Amino acid sequence: MDIIRPSIETKELLDHYLQYNHYRGCEFSAANSLFWCDFYQTKFTILEDMLVFCRVEDGIPTSFTFPIGEHDPKDAFDRVVDYFEQSNLPFAMYMVEPEMFEMIERWYPGQYQIEYDRDSADYLYRQESLATLAGKKLHAKRNHINRFLENYPDYQYERINGKNWKECLELEEAWARENNPEHDGDKENEKAVIAYALAHRKMFGMIGGLIRAEGKVVAFTLGERLTEDTFDVHFEKAYADVQGAYAMINREFVRRELSDYTYINREEDMGIPGLRQAKLSYQPDSLVEKGIVTKTRTPSFSMNKVNATQATSRTTPTMMDTTEVPFMLYS
């Protein structure tokens, strides 16, 4: 099994397989796989002409994703099973969505189980909802935008381009100085990733937008196509002391750039309370549940059926918004 590190050189290969992806989890992105490969020790392999990402410890793959590509994923799944058996390692498949697990359950009833991780669930929003902020539950968001418009009636929206992207980088550096005075490793990694993404956005087919107030860039966002109907927002930053800046860049970018998409993936909250509050306050349409699949110890009792049913129930949690909270602090 050849294990490959994602890189600019492998982007064309990744894109070939990811063009067939219809799952809405943010992991199935060439950009994300490259941006975070060293942080998460992520690589990939090709099995039965299907793309499979894997996490590596001490050079050894210890878990895999569900196969992605044009063909039936069962043959590639079986190759993953063979790898674990031959390596004498416990089977582990990560970032598995309910639809994926339903296939595994059909192939091998009762032999596998899944444990979903709430902190890893992506937030999925309707494009129309974020573009209009209509309805009583989003009234507070409209108020934030009204405050921004009162303070900055001559604001400008611009698509990120070769002339203004470095101003976005300046904002990110200022944000990092204010929010990461202790030079926390995770935030330092994020800073480096954002700088790389801004500089190489065209290579990855990414688009972004910014808000300029009184001549200064006060907010920006950056993302890419995930599936035919879903856009993935990777980064969003704004000055916290500019009231309404987060709400403004969120709405304007979606309204001006993403009208061809049905869904917007704002990625996970990583269990950070403030980030969870902010994402819930925008009233997600659903959560993209993701979990770890392992072998069932007692095949006669299939917990995975219960878990899969729970995960596919698209009951959306809600939270009334009373204050403006940064919508996305991390990826």
Share of the chain above pLDDT 90, in %: 84
pLDDT digits (tens, 9 = 90+) for 138-164: 999 999 999 999 999 999 999 999 999
CA contacts within 13 A on the Cβ side of 9 = 2
Q: And the tokens for 114?
A: 């899944």
Please give the pLDDT value at position 298: 60
Residue type, 296: T
Please give the pLDDT value at position 328: 42
Q: Is residue 159 part of a domain?
A: yes
Greater model confidence, 173 or 329: 173
Is the same domain home to 168 and 44?
A: no
CB 267 within 8 A of CB 122: yes
CB 244 within 8 A of CB 299: no
Is the same domain home to 36 and 131?
A: no
Radius of gyration of the chain (CA): 21
**Phi-psi category of residue 48: left, alpha or beta, with phi > 0 → left and psi -120 to 50 → alpha:** left
pLDDT digits (tens, 9 = 90+) for 19-37: 999 999 999 999 999 999 9
Q: Is residue 69 part of a domain?
A: yes
Q: Are strands 42-47 and 50-57 parallel, antiparallel or unpaired?
A: antiparallel
Select from 120, 143, 168, 135 the least CA-distant residue to 265.
120
Q: Is residue 60 part of a domain?
A: yes
Confidence check: pLDDT of 321 > 70: no
Q: How confident is the model at residue 187 (pLDDT cuts 50, 70, 90)?
A: confident
Cα distance between residue 119 and residue 331, in whole Å: 13
Domain that holds residue 28: 8-121+286-312
Structural domain total, the chain: 2
Is the same domain home to 92 and 185?
A: no
Confidence check: pLDDT of 107 > 60: yes
Q: Are strands 230-238 and 60-64 parallel, antiparallel or unpaired?
A: unpaired
Cα distance between residue 18 and residue 70, in whole Å: 9
pLDDT digits (tens, 9 = 90+) for 265-284: 999 999 999 999 999 999 99
Is the same domain home to 19 and 155?
A: no
Q: How confident is the model at residue 123 (pLDDT cuts 50, 70, 90)?
A: very high
As a whole number, mean pLDDT of residues 179-195 equals 81
Is the same domain home to 180 and 232?
A: yes
Confidence check: pLDDT of 323 > 80: no
Q: Is residue 328 part of a domain?
A: no
Confidence check: pLDDT of 223 > 60: yes
Q: For residue 100, give the H/E element and its range.
A: helix 98-107
Q: Is residue 327 part of a domain?
A: no
Cα distance between residue 34 and residue 113, in whole Å: 29
pLDDT digits (tens, 9 = 90+) for 236-254: 999 999 999 999 999 999 9
Contact residues for 299 (Cβ-Cβ < 8 A; gap 6+): 110, 111
Is the same domain home to 84 and 106?
A: yes
Select from 289, 294, 315 the least CA-distant residue to 118.
289
- Can you give the CATH number for the domain in which 105 is found? 3.40.630.30
Confidence check: pLDDT of 330 > 50: no
Please give the pLDDT value at position 105: 98
Please give the pLDDT value at position 318: 37
Please give the pLDDT value at position 182: 72
Is the same domain home to 291 and 275?
A: no
Q: And the tokens for 259?
A: 């009208």
pLDDT digits (tens, 9 = 90+) for 296-314: 986 544 444 434 333 333 3
Q: How confident is the model at residue 125 (pLDDT cuts 50, 70, 90)?
A: very high
Is the same domain home to 302 and 271?
A: no
Round the average pLDDT of the chain to a whole number and report it.
Answer: 90
Cα distance between residue 142 and residue 135, in whole Å: 10
Is the same domain home to 130 and 274?
A: yes
Q: Say which range, 67-81, 248-262, 315-329, has the weakest mean pLDDT.
A: 315-329
Is the same domain home to 127 and 117?
A: no
Please give the pLDDT value at position 189: 86
Cα distance between residue 266 and residue 98, in whole Å: 19
Give pTM, 2 decimals: 0.88
Is the same domain home to 85 and 141?
A: no
Q: Is residue 291 part of a domain?
A: yes
Cα distance between residue 48 and residue 1, in whole Å: 11
Is the same domain home to 141 and 269?
A: yes
Tell me how far CA of residue 100 lies from CA of 72, 106, 281, 286, in angstroms. Answer: 12, 10, 29, 17
Q: Is residue 127 part of a domain?
A: yes
As a whole number, mean pLDDT of residues 100-107 equals 98
Q: Is residue 2 part of a domain?
A: no
